[in-house]
Amino acid sequence: MSAIALVEDYLNERNDPLKAVKKSLDLCERDRNGSFLNLDRKGAIAAAELSQKRYSQGNPIGLWDGVPIGVKDNLALAGLPWTNGMLAYQDRMADFDASCLSDLKASGAVIIGKCHLHEAAMGTSSNNPWFGPCHHPRLYGFSPGGSSGGSAVAVASGLVPLALGTDTMGSVRIPAGCCGIFGYKPSPGKVSQHGLEILSEELDTVGLLAENLRDLVEYGSSLIGLSEKPAVVKMESIHVGILDESDLGECHPKVISAYFNAVSLLQSSGISTKKVPWEKNPSRLRKMGLALCEKEIYKKHGWLLQSNPDSVSPELTKLMKFGKELSAEELNSIKDKLKESVSNMKKYWSSVDVIMTPVTPCPTHSFDVSAPNHFADFTAPVNIMKRPAVAIPFSETEEGLPLGLHVIGHEGEDPQLLSMISTLVDALKPDHA
With the C-alpha atoms ordered 133, 390, 190, 346, is the resulting torsion angle positive or negative?
A: positive
Tell me if 255 sits within 8 A of 362, measured CB to CB.
Answer: yes
Give which of 97, 99, 100 is closest to 80, Cα–Cα: 97
| Distance, CA of 16 to CA of 57 (rounded, Å) | 12
Give which of 132, 124, 212, 103 is closest to 167, Cα–Cα: 124
| Distance, CA of 178 to CA of 172 (rounded, Å) | 10
Residues 6+ apart with CB under 8 A from 12: none
| Distance, CA of 79 to CA of 276 (rounded, Å) | 49
Residues 6+ apart with CB under 8 A from 345: 277, 279, 381, 385
| Distance, CA of 52 to CA of 16 (rounded, Å) | 6
| Residue 313 annotated in active site | no
Catalytic option among 24, 35, 147, 157: 147
| Distance, CA of 48 to CA of 419 (rounded, Å) | 32
| Residue 171 annotated in active site | yes
Length of the chain: 433
Give which of 386, 371, 417, 337 is closest to 204, Cα–Cα: 386
| Residue 386 annotated in active site | no
| Distance, CA of 221 to CA of 210 (rounded, Å) | 13
Catalytic option among 24, 72, 157, 229: 72
- Beta-bridge partners for 273: 240
Tell me if 232 sits within 8 A of 418, measured CB to CB.
Answer: no
Residues 6+ apart with CB under 8 A from 290: 169, 319, 380
Burial of 31 (0-12, 13-18, 19+ CB in 10 A): buried
Give which of 87, 407, 61 is closest to 216, Cα–Cα: 407
Catalytic option among 24, 148, 171, 395: 171
With the C-alpha atoms ordered 361, 366, 371, 372, is the resulting torsion angle positive or negative?
A: negative
With the C-alpha atoms ordered 105, 84, 30, 162, is the resulting torsion angle positive or negative?
A: positive
User: How far from chain centre, in Å, is Cα 173?
Assistant: 4
Catalytic residue numbers read 72, 147, 171
